[in-house]
Amino acid sequence: MLNLDEVIDELINFRENYRTFNRIYKDIQEHAWEYVAIGNGKVLGYGKDRKSLMKRYRDVKGVFIELITPPDIVWMF
């Protein structure tokens, strides 16, 4: 189990990886409809399903995994 400082570190790293995703979004459009894993501020890999990336990069602190969608897709919740 993580202590409070480790949780804070995970969240800070996650936020930075999220920011990296937003910054490089246009550059990774060739991988539309794939998932991307970002860790330590760089792309770690791509995959067809989130679960396999989560398993592969589970030890990366604050890893961010997201589906890459074309920019013209509008999500309605």
Residue type for position 32:
A
63 found inside a domain: yes
The verdict on residue 47 lying in a domain is: yes
Query: Which residues have C-beta within 8 Å of that of residue 2, sequence separation ≥ 6?
Result: 10
pLDDT at 5 over 90: yes
pLDDT classification of 31: cutoffs 50, 70, 90: very high
**Domain-embedded: residue 24:** yes
Give me the pLDDT at residue 76, please.
Answer: 79
Residue 72 within a domain = no
Tell whether 55 is covered by a domain: yes
d(CA 36, CA 77): 22
pLDDT at 2: 82
Domain extent for 9? 4-67
Does 23 fall in a domain? yes
Domain count, the chain: 1
Identify whether the C-beta of residue 46 lies closer than 8 Å to the C-beta of residue 32.
no
Q: Which of 70, 30, 33, 28 is nearest to 48 (CA)?
A: 33
